[in-house]
Amino acid sequence: MTEADARVLNGQTILLVEDEALIAMEIEMILEAFGARVHGPVPDLAEAVVAVETERFDAAVLDIDLGSEDVFPVARILQRRDVPFLFHTGHGLPRELEQDFPQVPVCKKPMPADRLARHLAALV
């Protein structure tokens, strides 16, 4: 990650929706190291929906598969609120991505957290 990317993330509030604890901790640590304020990690859909309906975020990192649910309802709310976000997934790419989110970046797991942060910085 470049110094310019780090400056972009400094002070930004980032929603982190991730149900895998180790991955979430790694992403959170990297984002905080670059000065971002991380909301989360949020491990499930219900909590994520409440967060996006009641809080303000500058950007979001969304794991697509949250156990038995997908994160697309959260993504739709973020779109309506004009909050930039990216998907972070270790699974195949669902059809909804092509149909409903063609412009949203998709980062495939495993991806080094600093590289993920660089992609996020490009959004904000």
Say what the pLDDT of residue 114 is. Answer: 83
The helix or strand, by DSSP H or E, that contains position 50, with its residue range, turns out to be: helix 45-54
Say what the pLDDT of residue 1 is. Answer: 61
Q: How confident is the model at residue 2 (pLDDT cuts 50, 70, 90)?
A: low
Say what the pLDDT of residue 19 is. Answer: 95
Say what the pLDDT of residue 43 is. Answer: 96
Residue 93's domain is classified under what CATH number? Answer: 3.40.50.2300
Q: How confident is the model at residue 99 (pLDDT cuts 50, 70, 90)?
A: confident
Q: Dump pLDDT digits (tens) for 106-116.
A: 988 888 888 88
**What is the C-alpha R_g of the chain?**
13
Q: Dump pLDDT digits (tens) for 44-68.
A: 999 999 999 999 999 999 999 998 8
Residue 82 lies in domain: 3-123
Q: How confident is the model at residue 7 (pLDDT cuts 50, 70, 90)?
A: confident
With a cut of 80, say whether residue 94 has pLDDT above it.
no
With a cut of 90, say whether residue 92 has pLDDT above it.
no
> Both tokens of residue 73?
């309802």
Give the contacts of 36 (CB within 8 A, at least 6 positions apart): 9, 10, 11, 12, 13, 14
Instruction: Report the mean per-residue pLDDT for the chain.
Output: 91
Q: Count how many domains the chain has.
A: 1
